[in-house]
Structures are given as C-alpha cells and as structure tokens.
Amino acid sequence: MKPLLSICCTTFNHEKFVDQTINGFLIQQTNFPIEIIIHDDASTDNTAAIIKKYAAKDDRIVTILQTENQYSQNIKPWANYVFPKTKGKYIALCEGDDYWTDPLKLQKQVDFLEAHPDYGMSFHNSKVFIQETESIEPDYLKGEVPETTTVLDLANRNYIRTNTVVLRNDFELPDWFSLLPVGDWPLFLIQIKDSKIKKFDEEMGVYRIHNNGVWTSIDKKKMITMSLNTIKPILESNILSKAASKVLKKRYDKYRFKLFKENIRQKFKSK
C-alpha cells in the first residue's frame, strides 16, 4: 500500500541519539500507512549499524547508507537522495539527533492538512534538550508565533524547528537549492508559496542542542555569513512574491550590517 506520509531522516555520527530518533518514528499511531526514509552520510561511528538493526525488523524503513561522505562534496542529502525517494502525499522531517515524543503527532498534523487544503504546512512547539547539561527546557528561542502564519512571516525569520514539520509533498527544488549552506528554512519558503502555515501549541518533539550541531559548532561571523549566502540566492531567483522578497531583502540588509559590526569588533579585538 502506498504510504500517505514519508518520514525523512538524515544522520551523521549520531550513534548516541539515533535510537531515540527512530523509536520516536516507531511509536507513531496512524490510521494511514507511512514510510521511514533514513539517509546516513557515511558516519564514522556505529550510526549505520544501528539503522540497519531497525531496518531488519521493520520493512517500512528505507535506508540510504553512503560509503563516502556526500556533504563534504557539497552534495546535500535531502534534494539529491531523500526527497526523490518519497512516495507520500506528505513529508515529515526529523534529523538523527532530534526526536518525537507524542505518538499521535503525525495523525494530528495530517488530519489538519487533509481537512484544510489552504494550508501547506503544519508544525508544533517543542522542547529543547541541552546535551551539555542533560536538561530539557521549553523552547523559547523561536518566540511567540500565531496559530496561522504565511510566507511573509517566514521570510522575516525562521520560527519553525525542522523536527516539528509536516508539509505537503508538492514542491520542486531548484538546482541552486543544493548549494545553500542552510536547507530547512529555504525549503519551507519554497514549499509554502501562497498557502498558510498551521502551528500546534502542543510540545510533540525535542530539539537537541549539542557541540557537534551545524549551528552550535560555528562562530558568530560564520553564522552570519551562512545566513547571507542562504538568503542571496533566494532573492536572486525571484521565486518568492514581491511582498515576500521585500521582507527577505530587509532581513538580508540586517545581516549585512551585523557582518559589518562583527568585522569591526574582531578588528579591534585583534589589536
């Protein structure tokens, strides 16, 4: 039976976390079929072995196990390997160091999208797990978000955790997408178009912060530069509406000013 939803998971050296991630998939209670696509980018630890163990027990798990790291060659897993394999009408995202806690998460989100065709995406609140202190805290980083938002809100800032998303599998990614240093927020901008975004207040997952994370492992200047290099191709592509592009251009200018200030700060610090 064709799955209604495809879970898309990417992993790299997540042996400490991936058990919890996969179990979050397996506890899901749905009245529709799902598939679980897990891409491992040639981990050097036991991540691939753990994934194989689960795949041998559950035929819903589709594995893509690289023997050579693709990310280091600027080949991104979502666009090049994972999304092309999806069969579902919907896609749920979760990286191998995050996890879900509510067994009805997927059912709630799909039920809403099925009943509201004018919404292209749904997400929910989450908690944050601080690996260094092994503490779980409320996720205050994203701020207050209304129940319904649009691409104009999303162009202004990314308030969506990747592991909370269920979106319609109705988008095509442009060639330049794979060149972006950041993938989740641009994906949301491309996918949502003129649709609306639904937020669930329930905390149905956990976002993990650790020293090896993509964002937490880089310095402030590099973070700003990555943001600029993410926004610029989106603006140049004219893929967004004029209104959304205008909002995004303001954000781009803010990051340019932040980079200017950071360069000045580092210059005086080095003296």
Q: Please state, in angstroms and rounded to a whole number, the distance separating the CA atoms of residues 183 and 77.
A: 10
Per-residue model confidence (pLDDT) at position 213: 53
Per 3-state DSSP, the chain is made up of helix, strand and coil in percentages (nearest 5) of 40, 20, 35
Angle between helix 47-57 and helix 18-26 axes, rounded to 10 deg: 20
Q: Which amino acid is at 155?
A: A
pTM (predicted TM-score): 0.92
Q: Can you list the residues of the chain whose pLDDT is less than 70? A: 141-142, 211-218, 267-271
Per-residue model confidence (pLDDT) at position 59: 97
> What 3-state DSSP class applies to 233?
helix
Containing 155, the helix (H) or strand (E) segment is helix 151-156
Per-residue model confidence (pLDDT) at position 1: 87
Note every long-range contact of 46-54, with CB atoms under 8 Å and residues 24 or more positions apart, other chains counting: 46/15, 47/11, 47/12, 47/13, 47/14, 47/15, 47/18, 47/96, 50/15, 50/18, 50/19, 50/22, 51/11, 51/18, 51/22, 54/22, 54/26
Q: Please state, in angstroms and rounded to a whole number, the distance separating the CA atoms of residues 242 and 72.
A: 35
Per-residue model confidence (pLDDT) at position 211: 67
The pair of three-digit structure tokens given for residue 44, joined into one six-digit string: 């050097």
Angle between helix 184-192 and helix 220-237 axes, rounded to 10 deg: 20
Per-residue model confidence (pLDDT) at position 49: 98
Per-residue model confidence (pLDDT) at position 148: 98
Q: Diameter of the chain by CA atoms?
A: 66
First and final C-alpha spacing in the chain:
66
